[in-house]
Chains A and B, each alone.
Chain A
Amino acid sequence: MKPSTQRTLVRVLAGALALTPLIAGAQEAPVPTINAGDTAWMLTATALVLFMTIPGLALFYGGLVRAKNVLSILMQCFAITALVTVLWTIYGYSLAFGNGGALNSWIGGLDNLFLKGIGLTSIYGTQTIPESVFMTFQMTFAIITPALMVGAFAERMKFSALMWFMGLWLTLVYVPVAHWVWGGGFLGTLGVLDFAGGTVVHINAGIAGLVAAIVIGKRKGFPTTAMPPHNLGYTVIGASMLWVGWFGFNAGSELAADGVAGMAMAVTQIATATAALSWMFAEWWAHGKPSVLGIASGAVAGLVAITPASGTAGPMGAIAIGLAAGVLCFLASTKLKRKFGYDDALDVFGVHAVGGIVGAMLTGVFASAVLGGKGLAEGLTIVDQVIKQGIGVGTTLVYTAIASLIILKLVDWTIGLRVTEEQETEGLDLALHDERGYIL
């Protein structure tokens, strides 16, 4: 991250006061200080990202299931928010962002268990915001990632199984992958570009969701019985909240209120709008009518795809990424799923994994200054960067698929993943929570 103007000024003044030459002063390591503007933005961004999960994602998914399961989705998103918050506080943050010493390429350390050492004045690395804000900002990412998976196995997982699966998955998958990319681990060191979490959040959740959908099995009656969304109004409201909240996700990932954050906001808006249109037109062309669910899904696909690129791509790169994401995610959610017959109920794989992979690979292309981006690291060609991106994507796909499979099987063998057939038919709201979403 670039030092802020204010910090540079402080450094220069300090150098001048010490009566040393200005150049020598500038070469000293800057003492990190808290910047009010950066902190104000990051407090806001953190709230925006939490808003993406509850109520944004909860409503987006809630509207897509049948009326008898709407509460189960809202409950799962809410419970994940609470569970991850506590686990992140106890050990998640420490293992993801703490210093892992000799093992730091693979996992963080235990120095910050129970957020030990994070006080009113602590700062993470060379940041300009309080560490408490950084920790909470990262917590909201750790919350939304498992919550994204809920859509894949919707309408059939036991609530107790969900709690165990999510707790274990956060610990054994999210925390290490976040560390590898952002916490000083080997993928970040390698130079994989993932500004706001295309790999850590979206590919990670997308592939784990696919594995979960396959391990738990298809919903009773899929694909012969009609299972249309029960309230697309919720879905559009949820997608709109995701769109708005995503400015916190992407522009917040700069961890400062500066030019990169501003451009991240701009490219997020541009890519999202482009993908909404490209999914809509693809569907219009393929099926004869533009659909509400299509344009909303396209927007989410665009948001996913621009996420890793949002700190490096320029406006034209954003249009290209949005175009590709809209069309490819449309094909993945409508054709691929049908062809292979897996029941990824709400297309977590089709939108998040496919959108995430498209975004991650194109990040390597559109970071290039020639294509309007911020510029690649010195000496790197587009091909070099795309290979690095591929390593990041491949590592995550393989590790997350295997680790998720093991966790799911473990939960299935011990307490069982799936509700009974009778409970599934009755609906999870009544069967698992003794409540109904609609008392009309």
Chain B
Amino acid sequence: MKLISAIIKPFKLDDVREALGDIGVSGITVTEVKGFGRQKGHTELYRGAEYVVDFLPKIKLEIAVDDQLVDKVIEAITNAARTGKIGDGKIFVFNLEQVVRIRTGETGSEAL
């Protein structure tokens, strides 16, 4: 099992959710986050006072899947979230040791 964590542009969330639904992903966790990468921040100007905003708002997705689905998930997110412009985000893949469904006590792949 793997835990896939993806940082994407906020406006791409609906497209990514749809693409993941199409390949059979049954659940995702979404968090609003802030950060910077190569895109850096932006500047804001109020009555001549300029502020540099270092951290831009992004969406973080977390998806736990069986090993055989990993490549499909990466492909789906990459295709759905890509604009081709700087700041499209990143995907991180982690090994996932255990999963437990709290309601039934099922573990491992059964619980996904």
Q: Is the CB of B45 within 8 A of A347?
A: no
Q: Is the CB of B44 within 8 A of A347?
A: no
Query: Which of B44, B48, B49 has the most CB atoms of chain A within a 10 A radius of its CB?
Result: B48
Give, as a whole number of angstroms, the nearest-CB distance from B33 to chain A: 18
Q: Is the CB of B45 within 8 A of A287?
A: yes
Residues 345-356 of A, flagged 1 when their CB comes within 8 A of B and 0 if not, give: 001000000000
Residues 51-64 of B, flagged 1 when their CB comes within 8 A of A and 0 if not, give: 11100000000000
Other-chain residue from B46, B52, B53 in contact with A229 (beta carbon distance below 8 A): B46
Q: Is the CB of B49 within 8 A of A223?
A: yes
Q: Is the CB of B48 within 8 A of A334?
A: yes
Distance between Cα atoms of A233 and B34 in the complex (Å): 23
Q: Is the CB of A291 within 8 A of B45?
A: yes
Please provide the chain A residues from 333 to 348 with a CB less than 8 Å away from any CB of chain B in the complex.
333-335, 337-338, 347
Residues of B contacting A228 in the complex (Cβ-Cβ under 8 angstroms): 44, 46, 49, 51
Closest to A337 in B: B48
Residues of A contacting B48 in the complex (Cβ-Cβ under 8 angstroms): 287, 333-335, 337-338
Q: Is the CB of A226 within 8 A of B47?
A: no
Give, as a whole number of angstroms, the nearest-CB distance from B80 to chain A: 30
Please provide the chain B residues from 27 to 53 with a CB less than 8 Å away from any CB of chain A in the complex.
44-49, 51-53
User: Would you call A69 an interface residue if the criterion is a C-beta within 8 Å of the partner chain's C-beta atoms?
Assistant: no
User: Would you call A75 an interface residue if the criterion is a C-beta within 8 Å of the partner chain's C-beta atoms?
Assistant: no
User: Would you call A87 an interface residue if the criterion is a C-beta within 8 Å of the partner chain's C-beta atoms?
Assistant: no
Residues of A contacting B49 in the complex (Cβ-Cβ under 8 angstroms): 223, 227-228, 334, 338
Query: Which of A228, A287, A347 has the most CB atoms of chain B within a 10 A radius of its CB?
Result: A228
Residues of B contacting A223 in the complex (Cβ-Cβ under 8 angstroms): 49
Q: Is the CB of A297 within 8 A of B51?
A: no
The size class of the interface chain B forms with chain A is under 10
Query: Which of A223, A226, A227, A337 has the most CB atoms of chain B within a 10 A radius of its CB?
Result: A226
Residues of A contacting B47 in the complex (Cβ-Cβ under 8 angstroms): 293-294, 297, 333-334, 347
Other-chain residue from B46, B51, B52, B53 in contact with A293 (beta carbon distance below 8 A): B46
Give, as a whole number of angstroms, the nearest-CB distance from B88 to chain A: 25
Distance between Cα atoms of A226 and B43 in the complex (Å): 11
Query: Which of B44, B47, B48, B51 has the most CB atoms of chain A within a 10 A radius of its CB?
Result: B47
Give, as a whole number of angstroms, the nearest-CB distance from A348 to chain B: 12
Distance between Cα atoms of A227 and B51 in the complex (Å): 8
Residues of B contacting A334 in the complex (Cβ-Cβ under 8 angstroms): 47-49
Residues of B contacting A337 in the complex (Cβ-Cβ under 8 angstroms): 48
Residues of A contacting B51 in the complex (Cβ-Cβ under 8 angstroms): 226, 228
Closest to A293 in B: B46
Give, as a whole number of angstroms, the nearest-CB distance from A426 to chain B: 22
Closest to B49 in A: A223
Distance between Cα atoms of A287 and B46 in the complex (Å): 11
Residues 305-344 of A, flagged 1 when their CB comes within 8 A of B and 0 if not, give: 0000000000000000000000000000111011000000
Residues of A contacting B52 in the complex (Cβ-Cβ under 8 angstroms): 226
Residues of B contacting A229 in the complex (Cβ-Cβ under 8 angstroms): 46
Closest to B44 in A: A228
Give, as a whole number of angstroms, the nearest-CB distance from A366 to chain B: 28
Residues of B contacting A338 in the complex (Cβ-Cβ under 8 angstroms): 48-49
Closest to A222 in B: B49
Closest to A338 in B: B48
Residues of B contacting A347 in the complex (Cβ-Cβ under 8 angstroms): 47
Residues of A contacting B44 in the complex (Cβ-Cβ under 8 angstroms): 228
Give, as a whole number of angstroms, the nearest-CB distance from B39 to chain A: 19
Q: Taking beta carbons and an 8 Å cutoff, which residues of B are in contact with A? A: 44-49, 51-53
Q: Taking beta carbons and an 8 Å cutoff, which residues of A are in contact with B? A: 223, 226-229, 287, 289, 291, 293-294, 297, 333-335, 337-338, 347
The 5 A-B pairs of least Cβ separation, nearest first, read: A334-B48, A226-B51, A333-B47, A334-B47, A228-B46
Q: List 13 A-B contacts (CB under 8 A).
A: A228-B44, A228-B46, A228-B51, A229-B46, A287-B45, A287-B48, A289-B45, A293-B46, A293-B47, A297-B47, A333-B48, A335-B48, A347-B47
